[in-house]
Amino acid sequence: ETGVTQSPTHLIKTRGQQVTLRCSSQSGHNTVSWYQQALGQGPQFIFQYYREEENGRGNFPPRFSGLQFPNYSSELNVNALELDDSALYLCASSKGATASYEQYFGPGTRLTVT
């Protein structure tokens, strides 16, 4: 069984640019959640996708958007990057959207905005 994978591992962007992060969910999982983890903080929920629909969103501005594809992989897009967007971005997949389903995390993408 292949685990959750994320790409790229690291990337560096300039303020004002746009970035796309990718996540492949674990086999058999239909839900992907995205988290932002700033240095010294716990993961903070950005949004969740269930069967290609966004069904939950945290306190993040609209310039954070996402997609989920028919194979349940997902993208996180961030427009107009700001310095404070520098963080580790985690995705987690699960068999369903409720808390009864364990979330399996990927290794993360480290984004640096200069």
Partner 1 sequence: AQRVTQPEKLLSVFKGAPVELKCNYSYSGSPELFWYVQYSRQRLQLLLRHISRESIKGFTADLNKGETSFHLKKPFAQEEDSAMYYCALSGRANSGYSTLTFGKGTMLLVSP
Q: How far is the CB of 83 from partner 1 (least distance, A)?
A: 21
102 forms part of the interface with partner 1 (CB under 8 A) = yes
Q: Binding to partner 1 (CB under 8 A): which residues in 30-69?
A: 33, 35, 40-45, 48, 50, 55-56, 58
Q: How far is the CB of 40 from partner 1 (least distance, A)?
A: 7
Asked whether the CA dihedral 88, 15, 61, 11 is positive or negative, the reply is: negative
> How is residue 88 written in tokens?
């580790």
Q: How far is the CB of 18 from partner 1 (least distance, A)?
A: 25
> How is residue 58 written in tokens?
């945290």
Distance CA 71, CA 99 (A): 22
